[in-house]
Structure 1
Amino acid sequence: MSGLTFRKRAEPDQRLDLSILTPGHLAKLDLSEIAALPIGTTKQLVTVGDIFALSGNDPAMIRLEGGSERFDRIGEAMDGGAIHVDGDAGWRIGRLMRGGRLTVTGSVGGLAGSGMSGGFLSIGGDTGDFLGGPMAGEMVGMRGGAIRVGGSAGTRAADRMRRGTIVVDGAVGENAGSRMIAGTLVVGGLARGAPGRLMKRGTLVLCGGAERLTPTFLDNGPADLLILKLMAEEFAAGDIGGVPFDGAPMRRIGGDTAVLGKGEIFLPLS
C-alpha cells in the first residue's frame, strides 16, 4: 500500500477547512468519496477534488504536496497515523491533537497545537500567536504531547499550558509561558516581552535570554542541576531531538509570586 497523497492543483481562492482529512476520518472512504468531501468555508461549494489530485490508498499515511497559508485546521483532533505537509499551512494546525505525528515543512498560522493532549507536531518554519495555547474562552491550553518549531513563534506561546513540551529553535514573541499551569517550554532565541507572566508552575528554559522579567520573579542564583542534563539527553533521544542547552549551569528564576509562584525560568549565566 502507498500513502494517501493530495497534490495541490492550484491556490484556493478561499480559506479551506481541512480538519476532515485525518487518518481516522478517511479510513473507510474510497478516493471518489474523499474527492467529494466539502472543505470550503464560504457559500461557494469547494470539494477536495476541486483543490487536490488524489493518489495512493493508505489513509494512515497522508501527504499534502504543496501547502498554502489558506489550508486551515490540518490534523485537528487526529488520534493516530501520520500527516505530512510539504509547504506552509494556515491556523489551528494540530489543534486538539490526541495522537499520531503531524509534520509541516513550512510556516503556519496561529493556535498551532492548541489544546493538544498527545502526539507530536513538527513545524519547520515559523508559527503564529498562541502556539499550544487556548482559544478564546478556554481555560487550558496544551495538555500533553510535544511540539518542535524550527523557526520562531508569535506572542503568548504556551499560554495556559498544563502539560507537555514545546521547543522553539528561534525567538518567541511577547509573554511566552503566560498563565502557565505546568509543562516545559524551551526557547533557543530571545524571549520578548515578559515571559512567564502569571505562571503558577512549569519550566521555561530561555537559552537566548529574556527581554525583561516582571518584579514578581525572584532570582535564585546559578543552578547546576542534574535534571537539566537529563532533560537534554531525553529530548535528544526522542522525537523532539537536540535542544539548545546541554545541562550546563544556568541562572534559576522562581515565580510568578503574584500567583502560586512555583514556576521556574532558566536563563544563561552572564
Structure 2
Amino acid sequence: MSALTFRLKGEPEERIDCSSLVPHHLANFSPAEIARLPVGTTKRGLLVGDVFEVSRNDAGEIRFEGGSGRLDRIGQAMQGGVIRVAGPAGFRFGRAMTGGELHAEGSVGDLCGSAMAGGRITVGGDCGARLGGPDAGEMKGMSGGTIHVKGNAGERAADRMRRGSVLVGGDCGKDAFSRMIAGTVVVKGKAHGVPGRLMKRGTIVLMGGAERYAPTFVDAGVHDLLVLKLMAKALGEVFGVVPFDGSPMRKISGDTAILGLGEIYVPA
C-alpha cells in the first residue's frame, strides 16, 4: 500500500512543528482530520492543510515530498513505522524516538536523535550540533538505537551518550563525545576540538584522527584486537558498510580525570 504523503506546497513562512505527524498518532485519522491538525508555531495558527497537500494511504509509512529546514520535530517520539523525507529537515529530527525508521535525503538541524532510545535514523547530508545528545536541562543523551549521518556532524555529537551506535561519514565538530557514558561511535573523518572530554566509558573509532586530545587521555599503544574485527563485522551488519575492518589500531584511553574506562581508536 502507498505511503501517507505530505506534499509541501512551498517554503513555509514560519517554523513548522511536525511532531504530531508520526505513524502511531495518525493511524486512525481521516484525510480531513489530518488536514486540521495544528502545525504552526506563531499566532497565525497554521494547520497541516495550509502547509501540505495530504494523500491518505497507509499511515504505517509516511513520506514528506519536498523538505525544508523549517520542518522541525519530524519523527519526534515515533514508536514504529517508517518516515521518509525527500529533502532536508529542521531541528529535533527523531528526538526521543523509541522505534521505527526515519530517513532524510538532505541535511537536518540541531539535536537530531536527541535522547532517542530505539529505532534507526539515516541522514543523507550533514546534521547540526548535539547529534544524539541531551536537550537543554537534560542529563541523558541517546540510550539506544542507531544513527547514520552520511555527511558531517556538528559540535558536541553524542554528548552524554549512554547506549546505541552512531556512524558519521564525514567530520565531527568541536568537542564531540563529551561526557559519554557508553555506546559506540565511528567517524570516517576527523574530530575537531577535544573529543571525548570527561567520557567515562564507550568506544570511539576516529579514522581521520583528532585535532587534539585532552591531557588526561593516555596513549596505550598499538593493538591487534579480536574485538575490533568483531565490532567491524557487527557494525557492518547494522550500517551496511563501516570505514574500518578491524586492522591493528592505536588506542587512546580516558578520560582519566574521571572513571577513565573509555577508549578511542585511531589508525596505527
- Same fold judged by TM-score > 0.5? yes
1:224-261 deviations in whole A, cap 9, x for unaligned? 111111111112222x2211111111100110000100
Task: Find the aligned partners of 1:237 and 1:93 in 2 and give their Cα distance.
Answer: 24
Matched to 1:26, the amino acid is L
Matched to 1:116, the amino acid is M
Matched to 1:260, the amino acid is L
Moved more, 228-237 or 165-174: 228-237
| Pairwise CA distance, 1:144 | 0.3
- The equivalent of 2:157 in structure 1 is 157
Task: Find the aligned partners of 1:44 and 1:131 in 2 and give their Cα distance.
Answer: 31
1:167-206 aligned at under 5 Å gives the runs 167-206=167-206
Structure 2 residue 43 is matched with structure 1 residue 43? yes
Q: Secondary structure at the match of 1:236?
A: helix
- The equivalent of 1:222 in structure 2 is 222
| Pairwise CA distance, 1:56 | 3.5
Check whether the contact 2:38–2:47 (CA below 8 A) recurs between aligned residues: yes
Q: Secondary structure at the match of 1:95?
A: coil
Q: RMSD of the alignment, in Å?
A: 0.7
Paired residues, number: 268
Structure 2 residue 134 is matched with structure 1 residue 134? yes
- The equivalent of 2:90 in structure 1 is 90
- The equivalent of 1:166 in structure 2 is 166
- The equivalent of 1:26 in structure 2 is 26
- The equivalent of 2:262 in structure 1 is 263
% identical aligned pairs: 61
1:39-69 deviations in whole A, cap 9, x for unaligned? 0000001111111111141000000000000
Structure 2 residue 242 is matched with structure 1 residue 251? no
Check whether the contact 2:62–2:84 (CA below 8 A) recurs between aligned residues: yes
Structure 2 residue 108 is matched with structure 1 residue 118? no
Q: Secondary structure at the match of 1:13?
A: coil
Task: Find the aligned partners of 1:18 and 1:55 in 2 and give their Cα distance.
Answer: 16
Q: Secondary structure at the match of 1:79?
A: coil
Task: Find the aligned partners of 1:10 and 1:232 in 2 and give their Cα distance.
Answer: 43
Where structure 2 has 5 or more consecutive residues not aligned to the other structure, the ranges are: none
Task: Find the aligned partners of 1:49 and 1:41 in 2 and give their Cα distance.
Answer: 15
Matched to 1:158, the amino acid is A
Task: Find the aligned partners of 2:45 and 2:135 in 1 and give their Cα distance.
Answer: 27
Task: Find the aligned partners of 1:263 and 1:250 in 2 and give their Cα distance.
Answer: 15
Task: Find the aligned partners of 2:79 and 2:223 in 1 and give their Cα distance.
Answer: 39
- The equivalent of 2:7 in structure 1 is 7
1:154-190 deviations in whole A, cap 9, x for unaligned? 0000000000001000000011110000001110001
Task: Find the aligned partners of 1:75 and 1:122 in 2 and give their Cα distance.
Answer: 12
Task: Find the aligned partners of 2:250 and 2:61 in 1 and give their Cα distance.
Answer: 43
Q: Secondary structure at the match of 2:144?
A: strand
Task: Find the aligned partners of 2:41 and 2:83 in 1 and give their Cα distance.
Answer: 22
Structure 2 residue 213 is matched with structure 1 residue 210? no
Where structure 1 has 5 or more consecutive residues not aligned to the other structure, the ranges are: none
Task: Find the aligned partners of 1:38 and 1:101 in 2 and give their Cα distance.
Answer: 24
Task: Find the aligned partners of 1:176 and 1:223 in 2 and give their Cα distance.
Answer: 24
